Structure 1
Amino acid sequence: MAMVDEPLYPIAILIDELKNDDIQLRLNSIRRLSTIARALGEDRTRKELIPFLSENNDDDDEVLLAMADELGGFTPHVGGVDYAHVLLPPLESLCTVEETVVRDKAVESLCKIGAQMKERDIVAWFIPLVKRLGAGEWFTARVSACGLFLIAYPSAPDLLRAELRSVYNELCHDDMPVVRRSAALNLGKFAATVEAMHLKSDIMIFFRELTQDDQDSVRLLAVEGCAALGKLLEPADCVANVLPVIVSFSQDKSWRVRYMVANQLYELCEAVGPESTRTELVPAYVRLLRDNEAEVRIAAADKVTKFCGIVCPQVAQQHILPCVKELSFDSSQHVRAALASVIMGVAPLLGKEATIEQLLPIFLALLKDEFPDVRLNIISKLDQVNQVIGIDLLSRSLLPAIVELAEDRHWRVRLAIIEYIPLLASQLGADFFDNKLGALCMQWLGDQVYSIREAAANNLKRLAEEFGPEWALQHIIPQVMEKIKNPHYLYRMTVLVAISLLAPVVGAEPTCQTMLPVVINAAKDRVPNIKFTVAKMLQSMIPIVDSTVVEQTIRPCLLELQEDPDADVRFFAGQALQACDQVMCA
């Protein structure tokens, strides 16, 4: 068999592997295209490699996707921007395949290459490609064409621009809904490149026709265009052309369109400009908040705080808060959860009086909701209300609910409360905290769920940091020490973890006098898990106490543990002894 000439070797290997039945080999070959191109050089890459890729008939979508991705960064390998046009044919071919993700990646790569090309090359090579795809026999080509106009249009001379607008118009009226969807999806990007005079004429005509399409999938994509077009138009033109469409869409017969409006309404309001105009959208928003479909109400509820922020407080109180009250008792738990995740943010917008009168009852209702996620969402945002109504009123109104939730049967709710406790404590003050919440914090150390016990130990450390070592020595540490007598070893382990977390906060002397004796005594526990936890605790205490304590108290205990029958106990004791030796040698 004749040897392959060395200069032909890379392309020969590529051809061989791209025809291999093994998809992994074909994929690997495509992903090495840049390496192969460097081996071939720019000239042979243009004359041999790219034409070969253009003729590649691989039918595996994964291989085609990899090729579309690789070619997007291939400009340096063909000789730079002057030769970028040679990359267009294989990508044009990929724009016509059936698989959507391959076409999308090919369009993305074409846009990336087109953005680098010189204006004359755009006119000579890129615009003809767009026109060919736009007139393609298969819908796949026409779908892809819609995403390329934003690159082609700015470089086109006037006559070509008129032709491109005409092509886009045909795409907006295509027989295939999928093509019209693509036209609707890309209209905002295309509009951003069009001159103002044609924006108000041609583009707005395209927009209006797409918003009246028989297919709801086309109309809902046109909704996204509302915000994009609104930002391009003058405020008066926006009010005249976009506002009526938004209002109409809020009453669309398809719930999917109404859902999209609810999702986009905040952006749409920003687009229509002044507050007086935004107020005209309030009835549309109210309709969405009271929509028959739960999915629409969820999307609308999620925007309550944002929407209240762009209308005056009086309008929010008069029109939006009554709907919010209804939603707090909505039949769908997911609607209530969406509302609970944002409702606390309304308080700073309304002020203290309105929050107390109108929002506080809604907060309390949601705090008692049977669905855990609703309660969790309210708890996580309580600090936003603190800033408005003050801690005194908060403690009177919300503390009973918080205490009830601290014993909730759902562990995730209890965990959320624990994580909120340090923030609440800092606002309540030490005296109030001791009287109302101190017992709860100790109770959590004996919870059945490990994550709760772990969080409770960390919570005690954060409280000690908040209120200081003296407070911790008086109010936390004696109660923690008492719990080491618990008959169940898992709870005793939690106490040891709490001790190790508190020791650095309270300092050397209290650690040696109060906590270290308890840890040393636990080394005699019958459960191996407790003993190796003791070894780890003692190691964590070494940097806190002085070397005398390490030598006289900690080291002897660890030497005993190193003789334990359990392998894990011996291992951790050995690690701790190494730490002791390092301290003694320092």
Structure 2
Amino acid sequence: MTQELSKIGTLIDQLIGYDPKLRYESISKIKLIAKTIGPKRTREEFIPFLNKIPFDEETKTILLLVTLLSEFVDLVGGEEHTHSLFPILLRYATYEDTSVRDQVIKTLTVLSGFSPNKEFSKHLYLFFKKLCFKKWTSSRYTACGIIPILYKNINEKQKEFVLKLFTRFCKNKSTLIRKIACQTLSKLILLFDKDLLLQYALPKLKQFHKDNQDSVRIQTIEVCVSFAKHLQDEQIILNEIIPIYQLLAQENSWRVRYLASKSMCSFSKNLNDNIILEKLLEPFLNLLADDEPEVRSVGCTQLYNFCELIKKHPKVIVERIIPKIGDLSTDSCEFVKSSLAVSIIKISPIIGKDETLTNLLSHQITLFSEESAKINLPLIRNLHYVAEVIGIEPLLDAILDSINRLSKNVDWRNRVEIIKCIPLIANLFDTGAFNEHLIDLCFSWFTDIVHSVREEATLMIKKLIETFGKKWGNEFVIPKIIELSNNQNHLFRQIAIFTFVKLAPILGSEFYKGDVIETIVKLGEDPIPNIRIYLINSLIELSKYINNDEKEILKKLLESLQEDVDRDVKYFATQTFEKTQKKN
């Protein structure tokens, strides 16, 4: 206990020390300090102490402190004492860096979830007023940001006061304040009744979407989404909200168009499909053909979800959307095509077999022919969507070419990713077709120059045996691994041992005898000491899945290795032998 208190004392000293690295480390352990000294001392001594940390401390240190305070509810004695954290949060609510003020808002949001009581609301209201009446932009920024937390837990008179102040924030000269006010409006809408939505929130939306700063206008997109989600009146949405969203989708600022495209499905999902077709299809198609590749790219990621919203109208998808897909599949920007690859395969179940074969398949094949892994990998990961509609045959050559290209990709991470896809692809093949087209490629990865690729190949083979069965594993896998154990490269012999161990739980004792045990014994005589050591360290795990006769063979192998010429091999053999004896 004395040693622990000494450690805590050191951490507290470091909090006000000169070394910024030590201060950061100590900040990361403030929960430990609070837990050790107890809730009362945390409230009365430790929180005030933390409040004295230099205000010009590094931003990342202050961010960490403010973030950790959201986890202090129990450490200060429960929800009735949560307000004891307010003085320190009030201090950083005016911090110069916006990221710190944003974190103060997030922390207060978390604390309000733990403490939805009148006492908390009372203190939060006082917190809000203190911030409002400071002259600094930073304090008003935070005050505006916490309004949604405050609003739902105060009385009508206080709500009226808060909304009056919020109106001022909406008209503030500072772009930063108007921006946070617009963000706040999108959250407040979800708390308003219909009258407030129409009389208070809607005029604010109309004001913001005409703001002269695009950083403010871009926030109105989320406000439109909140209106569509919360306002249960399609006619008002049709007449008031959709026209604003249409204008945002045609904005001069590409950043606004980007977010309009990204949010299109979130906005549309609360509307009926006829409204979507009539009012939003054309803006969405225009965004897919936007001059900026970033806008086209994010639109492509939304393609499947948008088609899902209008799936009752497959003819519209075929006649209006698929021609755009044709243009996008040959786009000059790789990012656009990689985003399209995420959606293009998933559309097949929506339009059906005939339309996929007639209108969509050629565009899918076009993307498969691309050299880029960023395009090919999403296509392969989602193959099951199209396979369940048209089968694998129409795409077979394109798929195999794509897999072969990825298997030789210069970036080993891409080779790992395609290996991870093989078990998914295997579900689309019968055993004969898989053996014909892919089994040799699968085993080629066992001799890759990168260890992570070889290791992933082992995990892949394990999953393939689970798919095709033990008999397939015994017939096609085990002979290949035995062959690998005789490879001239000792690294490949090592991966053979790794594979034997990984496959043991699913193949079981019936397969781990005869040739396999002979191979393992032979590896115990490998000329490379590291291989013998690796085998020794694998024997305990392997012995869990073999019969007693084979265990005796391994025991004799361990005994012989205790007399090995290499002292490291002798050491590990002795250690392993002792462990096996204790278990027996």
Shorter-chain TM-score: what band? Answer: 0.7 to 0.9
The alignment status of 1:306 with 2:309, answered yes or no, reads: no
Deviation for aligned residue 1:399: 3.7
Change (3 A) 1:347 1:97: same
Alignment partner of 2:229 out of 215, 228, 231: 231
Q: How do residues 105-144 of structure 1 correspond to structure 2 at under 5 angstroms? A: 105-108=103-106, 116=115, 127=125, 130=128, 133-134=131-132, 136-144=134-142
Aligned to 2:9: none
Aligned to 1:569: 569
Aligned-partner residue type, residue 557 of structure 2: C
Deviation for aligned residue 1:485: 3.3
SS at match of 1:485: coil
SS at match of 1:236: helix
Instruction: Please tell me whether the aligned partners of residues 422 and 460 of structure 2 are also in contact (alpha carbons under 8 angstroms).
Output: yes
The alignment status of 1:345 with 2:343, answered yes or no, reads: no
Instruction: Please tell me whether the aligned partners of residues 384 and 428 of structure 2 are also in contact (alpha carbons under 8 angstroms).
Output: no
Aligned to 1:278: 276
Aligned to 1:361: 362
Aligned to 1:267: 266
Q: How do residues 518-533 of structure 1 correspond to structure 2 at under 5 angstroms? A: 518-533=519-534
Task: Note the alpha carbon deviations across 1:239-293, whole angstroms, 9 max, x for none.
Answer: 222111111111111111111112211111124x111111121111112111121
Aligned to 2:373: 372
The alignment status of 1:555 with 2:547, answered yes or no, reads: no
Q: How do residues 32-71 of structure 1 correspond to structure 2 at under 5 angstroms? A: 38-39=39-40, 45=44, 58-60=55-57
Instruction: Please tell me whether the aligned partners of residues 61 and 102 of structure 1 are also in contact (alpha carbons under 8 angstroms).
Output: no
Change (3 A) 1:131 1:209: farther
Task: Note the alpha carbon deviations across 1:422-465, whole angstroms, 9 max, x for none.
Answer: 33334322222222222222333223332332233333333334
CA–CA distance in structure 1, aligned partners of residues 414 and 502 of structure 2: 24
- Aligned residues with identical type, % of pairs: 28
Instruction: Please tell me whether the aligned partners of residues 65 and 105 of structure 1 are also in contact (alpha carbons under 8 angstroms).
Output: yes
Q: Which moved more, 1:24-33 or 1:164-173?
A: 24-33
Alignment partner of 1:169 out of 167, 170, 176: 167
Deviation for aligned residue 1:557: 2.7
SS at match of 1:331: coil
The alignment status of 1:417 with 2:412, answered yes or no, reads: no
Change (3 A) 1:37 1:364: same
Provide structure 2 residue ranges, at least 5 long, that are not aligned to the other structure: 1-11
Aligned to 2:94: 96
Q: Which moved more, 1:93-102 or 1:331-340?
A: 93-102
Q: Which moved more, 1:295-304 or 1:323-332?
A: 323-332
CA–CA distance in structure 2, aligned partners of residues 515 and 424 of structure 1: 29
Q: How do residues 138-537 of structure 1 correspond to structure 2 at under 5 angstroms? A: 138-154=136-152, 161-233=159-231, 234-271=233-270, 273-279=271-277, 280-311=279-310, 312-395=313-396, 398-503=399-504, 505-536=506-537
**What is the aligned residue count?**
565
Deviation for aligned residue 1:411: 3.5
CA–CA distance in structure 1, aligned partners of residues 433 and 67 of structure 2: 62
Aligned-partner residue type, residue 144 of structure 1: T
CA–CA distance in structure 1, aligned partners of residues 85 and 172 of structure 2: 28
Change (3 A) 1:119 1:240: farther
Aligned-partner residue type, residue 275 of structure 2: T
Change (3 A) 1:248 1:519: same
Query: What is the CA RMSD across the aligned residues, in angstroms?
Result: 3.9
Q: Which moved more, 1:202-211 or 1:293-302?
A: 293-302
The alignment status of 1:581 with 2:581, answered yes or no, reads: yes
Change (3 A) 1:78 1:486: closer
SS at match of 1:96: coil
Instruction: Please tell me whether the aligned partners of residues 210 and 222 of structure 1 are also in contact (alpha carbons under 8 angstroms).
Output: yes
Deviation for aligned residue 1:540: 4.3
Deviation for aligned residue 1:216: 0.6
| Greater radius of gyration (CA) | 1
Instruction: Please tell me whether the aligned partners of residues 376 and 402 of structure 2 are also in contact (alpha carbons under 8 angstroms).
Output: no
Instruction: Please tell me whether the aligned partners of residues 258 and 288 of structure 1 are also in contact (alpha carbons under 8 angstroms).
Output: yes
Q: How do residues 66-77 of structure 1 correspond to structure 2 at under 5 angstroms? A: none
Aligned-partner residue type, residue 146 of structure 1: C
Provide structure 1 residue ranges, at least 5 long, that are not aligned to the other structure: 1-14
CA–CA distance in structure 2, aligned partners of residues 79 and 463 of structure 1: 53
Q: Which moved more, 1:104-113 or 1:74-83?
A: 74-83
CA–CA distance in structure 1, aligned partners of residues 158 and 508 of structure 2: 79
Instruction: Please tell me whether the aligned partners of residues 380 and 416 of structure 1 are also in contact (alpha carbons under 8 angstroms).
Output: no
CA–CA distance in structure 2, aligned partners of residues 75 and 451 of structure 1: 43
Change (3 A) 1:476 1:214: same
Task: Note the alpha carbon deviations across 1:94-131, whole angstroms, 9 max, x for none.
Answer: 433323244334445555677757669968x7556645
